Amino acid sequence: MGIASTNPATGEVFERFDELTAEQLEDRLARAAAAAESYRLTSIEDRAGWLRAAADRLESEADTVAALIVSEMGKTLRAARAEVAKCVAGLRFYAERGPAFLRDVEGDGESVGARSTYVTYQPIGVVLAVMPWNLPLWQAMRFAAPALMAGNVGLLKHASNVPQCALYMERLFREAGFPDDVFQTLLIPSGTVEQVLRDPRVAAATLTGSEPAGRSVASVAGEEIKKVVLELGGSDPFIVMPSADIERATDVAVTARTLNNGQSCINGKRFFVHEDIADAFIEKFVAKMGALVLGDPMDQDTDIGPLATESGRQDVEEYVADAVGKGATVLAGGERPDRPGWYYPPTVLADITPEMRMYHEEVFGPVAQVFVVSSLEEALREANGHPYGLGSNLWSEDDAERASFVRDIQSGMAFINGHTTSYPEIPFGGVKRSGYGRELSDLGMREFMNAKTVWVGE
């Protein structure tokens, strides 16, 4: 289908886009390299001002942009508005806190025989961002805001099913006053990413996406000796112990599994419930999942919209069919509704075993796996047996259990009595096959900066 906007609620293509020709791509790369040479010399105050202007403009266009997000990837209008608001907050966060993140850090000159020594943080140049469709504005913004504040130039290769969101990003920064070509969208196929990454004018890359995509980009970056940050898959554990508030835990469990129509790397996907409370938790969880309203994502009463792509729904169906065929029990959902669009209902499965694909892989849709465990140790052992290690959740009022969880869970993020989410203020990223490097906070900004050591003699 190429690069096109398709409404997931109907399956209808409503706009197509031409891919960049070789000549157009070369022109954009040349312009990005030229922009990097001048943009790195702009003042921190100017960059902060442009970020604030972008935040104000995005906020003023929030309703239009939210509707655009819904039309291209199918999340509910409520969720799209929340995504836009998060982008506004991210822009303002880096405008306000970025200057402090960019300050020189003084060292102990005397100890190294110098009159002074310090570390200064400098931009590295042109950074390629390969981004997914599930959070089409926020995923790109959490790269763009810190990168632009740092003085880097951004090239966005977005998913091919959200081209209008991608083009909006370029327009937003241009109209906010950023210098020409500091942020550009590249309408190119996935097969052209390697060419762009190997180009000597591109200094580094960041990718949010699948494990195979991450492996490919990391391989090319390794050959070219270029920095890359990878945020890949996740199959986050959600552990519930006897001391938990079951009512609140089940409320958050439903949100954790169905947020973004179940299409988020940090959604809770594997629910490990202590046997002492398993019956009560599962009964409430299944009832609440079954009560969610599946429908038109533009309708305010809708809880779950369609999956973003037809192939994505087919993947979910295949995972469920494989599990059921090997003995899994369907507690809720499990069958596609008879309606146009790429809908799939909130689903809960029990009796999951290692023979099933979903035990080892990520299901990118509103399908929950429930496991009953006899102890926190068993929950941690099962949780850590998965190849991914992005986020994790514990529900407990016991201080010893909390300490064990933080110490022993193999994940980049550990949330206690709350759903894993991203905030501009704190680092985001994973371990194991969930990738490496960090986004957001000061760490995310410094991933694509040269921490230059300066030594000044007497």
Residues 209 and 177: their CA atoms lie apart, in Å, by 30
For 195, the token pair is 């060419």
Whether the CB-CB separation of 133 and 73 falls below 8 Å is answered with yes
Active site residue 87: no
CA gap 451, 448 in Å, rounded: 9
The distance between the two most distant Cα atoms of the chain, rounded to a whole number of Å, is: 79
Note whether 57 and 175 are within 8 A (CB): yes
Alpha-carbon torsion angle 195, 200, 206, 208, nearest 10? 0
Cα-to-chain-centroid distance, residue 191: 22
Instruction: Give the number of C-alpha atoms closer than 13 A to the C-alpha of residue 161, restricted to the C-beta side.
Output: 22
Judge whether 194 counts as a catalytic residue. no
Q: Which residue has the tokens 């295949």?
A: 318
How far is Cα 249 from Cα 227, in angstroms, rounded to an integer?
39
Q: 161: which DSSP letter?
A: T
> Active-site residue among 72, 231, 439, 447?
231
Catalytic residue, chosen from 87, 170, 265, 447, is 265
Q: Which amino acid is at 366?
A: P
Q: What are the φ/ψ torsions at residue 275 (nearest 5 degrees)?
A: -60, -25
Q: How far apart are the first and last CA of the chain?
A: 65
Cα–Cα distance for residue pair 307/341, rounded to 1 Å: 8
Q: List all residues 6 or more positions away from 402 whose beta carbon is below 8 Å from its beta carbon.
A: 394, 396, 416
Q: Give percent helix, percent strand, percent coil of the chain, each to the nearest 5.
A: 45, 20, 35
Residues with catalytic roles: 231, 265
